[in-house]
């Protein structure tokens, strides 16, 4: 599982800032990995609050906080990946082969992850933007509710699948080790 590692952000074994979970992940990989363990349950609570408790105001607040936090995390994560890459950190994994990056198990899991993450991000932006534009203030059921429910569920399922496939990729690329 996790290799013992001290909390050193200045580790020079790999480009960029090293993470804090004891894996080979970068700081932002670790932040996003953990953030999804928070986002998925908060998303479930948010859906419960609106569906069962009819707390539309609290649902809206939770969604806006999650959207804002995830937007900042994803932007910082993307900067980290674009600047520092991820392949060097994945190289020790038995599930990654740099010569066959996209056909190795880690590469395939990343491709599957991205096939959920990118559409989910775009859909969530649309769902939130349309909700802000089309729901009354304070929020309550309205003409937009049917569309919002349908696509909100699609976004929530997409977020769950994004988290699950992201966690799988993280394990295959940054935790698994040949030794």
Asked if the structure places residue 14 within a domain, the reply is no
Q: What is the pLDDT of residue 11?
A: 56
Asked if the structure places residue 142 within a domain, the reply is yes
Asked if the structure places residue 90 within a domain, the reply is yes
- Full residue range of the structural domain in which residue 76 is found: 35-175
Query: What is the pTM for the complete model shown?
Result: 0.90
Asked if the structure places residue 28 within a domain, the reply is no
Q: What is the pLDDT of residue 39?
A: 95
Asked if the structure places residue 3 within a domain, the reply is no
Asked if the structure places residue 110 within a domain, the reply is yes
Asked if the structure places residue 9 within a domain, the reply is no
| Residue from 159, 154, 175 nearest 74 by CA | 159
Q: What is the pLDDT of residue 12?
A: 64
Q: What is the pLDDT of residue 13?
A: 84
> If the chain, 179 residues long, is cut into consecutive pieces of 10 residues, what is the mean pLDDT of each piece?
46 85 96 95 98 97 95 94 96 97 98 98 97 96 97 98 98 92
Asked if the structure places residue 108 within a domain, the reply is yes
Q: What residue has token string 């939770």?
A: 62
Domain count, the chain: 1
């Amino acid at each position: 599982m996790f290799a013992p590692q001290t909390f050193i952000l200045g580790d020079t074994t790999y480009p960029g800032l090293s993470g804090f979970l004891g894996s080979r992940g970068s700081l932002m990989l670790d932040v996003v990995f953990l953030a999804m363990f928070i986002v998925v349950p908060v998303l479930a609570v948010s859906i419960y609050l609106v569906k069962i408790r009819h707390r539309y105001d609290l649902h809206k607040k939770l969604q806006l906080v999650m959207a804002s936090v995830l937007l900042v995390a994803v932007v910082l994560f993307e900067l980290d990946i674009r600047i520092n890459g991820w392949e060097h950190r994945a190289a020790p994994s038995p599930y990654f082969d740099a010569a066959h990056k996209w056909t190795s198990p880690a590469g395939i899991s990343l491709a599957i992850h991205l096939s959920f993450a990118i559409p989910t991000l775009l859909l969530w932006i649309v769902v939130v933007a349309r909700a802000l534009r089309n729901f009354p203030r304070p929020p309550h059921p309205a003409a937009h509710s049917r569309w919002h429910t349908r696509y909100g569920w699609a976004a929530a399922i997409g977020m769950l699948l994004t988290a699950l496939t992201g966690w799988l990729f993280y394990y295959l690329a940054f935790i698994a080790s040949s030794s």
